[in-house]
A and B are shown apart, each in its own frame.
Chain A
Amino acid sequence: MVSKIAPRLTAALADKTVSKQEADDIIAAAKTEPKWTPQLQAELSTFVSKNASKLDPQAKVALESFLKSTHPRVDLPDPALQKADRTDVTWTPVAPDATLYVDTISADDVAQGYIGDCYLASGLSSLANANPENIKKAITDNKDGTYTVRFFQNVASGHPKAVNVTVDDDVAMGKSGPQYASARDSKELWPGLLEKAYAKWKGGYDKVGNGGTACDLFQAITGKPATDETIGDSAPDALFKKISTAVAAHRPVAAGTYADDDPKVHYTNTGVHGDHFYTVLGTSEEGGQKYVQLRNPWGFSEPAGNGPDDGIFKLPLADFMKLYENIEFGG
């Protein structure tokens, strides 16, 4: 189907120059397009760049200004946000001067939103902790307000297949701030973009917000097989060595807890939450005692005595094995 701006572009070039009035006509036609797509953005961008010498200076300013102000909308359909109790949510750019990364990519960047995807938020944090290059390689800034995230299709039955998912940088804002995953620095985009693209790939936030495994995310980002283990299957020293080796090899690691009403595990006053996933940051040995370093993907809430409440803490290995049910390793 021919776009509404196409005939305007042709007409404007008929006399080899594009006046301010003709530019205004093009912009007016663009605004009546039913949806401003990446294709239309590319069509107009190409017109401006290819015919730069034919544009009246005022026409050039008007068209470039229009292009700059217009981001293709590729928002994610999200039935959950249609609910009555979420009517105060609006999709909006997270911050006017937001960028993909602020300083370096770190495990501490990620803050989980208000959906049940702790496996995803902790997994993102694990990937950042293991090898930030995997995240950088996965995200492409399209320089038009959109970003393309490269995932790998499940590799369980063969060679990984690249899947590209494009999203814009709008986030769902409610009275309490971002509703989905975000960065602790409000000007940093990558955690929210990765979650948004993953959700778009899988059918929506509803589909990723009903649980999942960090293994699937690890495979999707690295393209390498991931494994999970029941912690009770391992001897303490073997488990400690396995975690230490994986982290040293820059492999992402996450661990999940038992039920918060488990009759044999009492989470009360431990600072650890049941039915939750945590990033495994590493291991340490102090005074002959082995510890596992962890991070709550909320970015807060941790056992007492671990410094500022940033969600980062360490547990003696024995406590870790008592409180955590399973552990997932990326490739």
Chain B
Amino acid sequence: MHKLLIDQPGAKKLLLGNEAIARGAIEAGLAFASTYPGTPSSEISLNFFQVSRESDLYFEYSTNEKVALEVAAAAANAGVRSMCVMKHVGVNVAADALMTLAYVGVRGGLVILTADDPYMFSSQNEQDNRYYGKLSGLPILEPSSAEEAMEMMGYAFELSEQLAEPVIFRTTTRLNHSTAPVVFGKITKPVTSGDFTKDPFNYVTVPAVSRKLHIKLLKNIEKAEALADASAYNFIEGSGNFGVICNGVSYNYVADAVGDLELDGKVKILRIGFSHPMPGSLIKSFVKDCEKVLVVEEGEPYMEEAVKAFAQEAGYTGSIKGKAPELFSRLFEFDPAMVRANIAKYFNIPYDPETPVDLSDIPELPQRPPNLCAGCSHRATFYAVNRATEGMETIHPTDIGCYTLGFLPPLSAGDFLICMGSSVSTGCGFAQTTDKKVISYIGDSTFFHSGIPGLINAVFNNHDMTLIILDNSTTAMTGHQPNPGVDMEALNFDGFGRVSVESVVRGIGVPHVSVIRPYNVKKSIAAVKEAISHKGVSVIIAQQACTLLERSMKKLVGKPFYVSDKCKNHRNCINDLGCPAFYVENEKVRINAGLCSGCGVCAQICPERAILPLK
């Protein structure tokens, strides 16, 4: 049995934050879940996927976050408890649905989980999604720990049903990827099917209906503010003349700092866990007795702005600070020492910080950046393109996935990236406005997610560009989730359809389409040369299963290679491919047989044919 399905109330388990969130939803009777995978949220969905194979939970990997939210919105409006999981930038994709779903509302509880990523451990920006609460008018809940997240999930569904609208559940990487002991509660049996009663004058958002629904939404915001004021998730701790207002993981750092600096009786804390609408009355009464107030929040001054506005209304004249050059930054994530030091500084408390060891005499160390895996077929495709375009001026818009790592030398296969799907559409713009050859890269999952509209645009507007679809039959970067192109039957999952990348591309009417096997270097180079000589849109589909996935499924068939005595040390292999299976020993190139996947690409480019398979 899946560990999140163990129905033993009171059992203590060590869970990852994302597992605790999934368990909380399961305990709340979650019946329907959808997602597009994205770090740091991915393990929530992975657990739902696993749980759905052995329980009544319906779960799907949807094609993108907008689709995922729309699917879940309908399920919730059929009356079943639903959840939609995504990373913070996924909410941008889903925002069109979100904004008007807020007007329409839901019948069964709907929780939209956004996993924000301060410091951008694995993201392209560090936007603060609390502003989506303000923008949409929907309530936001923010836990501070794994155990609180589990429990708060149950409340999120209740709140959603109480207000008849979705609730945004906001986490950050440090909560998603923290582990702590949690105590299991009781699992509520999910109600898996519902019904939909026609009511077009409340569900079909033509202007006349929406005008009415917006009035309803504003009334709901008032109700939600009253709930936030009374919420047990907005609590006051300790006592004193100094006030600290904090949220999320910052609360942990504040609570530890109060202990470390021995501030009992001097500092009181207001922890905000129900953060949209902000609890106005509670904040006014909290600041009233404070000599000065510090707001501790990662990201934007979301709470600070609200606290200052409420304080002004209440006639409070003390100092309120948070984001300031001498205090907290809007950049990156916080840590316990930073919060301790700023509390000490702002409230004039003596503090002697720990001194990290002096590193000034440490020599410059070789970097260890993440790299495409040994034998990754993306490397072979990038190599083929680099060879086929030698002497040409090129622009390579790239996209989001493992292959983004190809932007580093020696492959240098990435020049521009803003978001999922952007490689295709930005390729259109570059092709129109520059004389350089535009060759864009996108993965299979990202192509399905949001690359298709860009390709339709390229065909309709007849842009002169080549799109290379790196089809490794999985969503590799986030942990090998399936996508619509994956053969699920081959993975022993029944009940799925399959969409062929090639059929989609041909269906769009792309005038020049070719399919390559990137491990065949010569043929791949020839195919790229032909595609880029075509005036107009051309697409190359580079098909090769992800080597990391093949390895983990014990499906690798190639024998490892070695460098024989014929080697004359040209080093084309190491210098042009940058495969991590290579190393240099006594000035000779060697191959780590444990890492080598046997793709044979290096053997094909060696001028001496010195790289041979091990017998």
A binds B: no
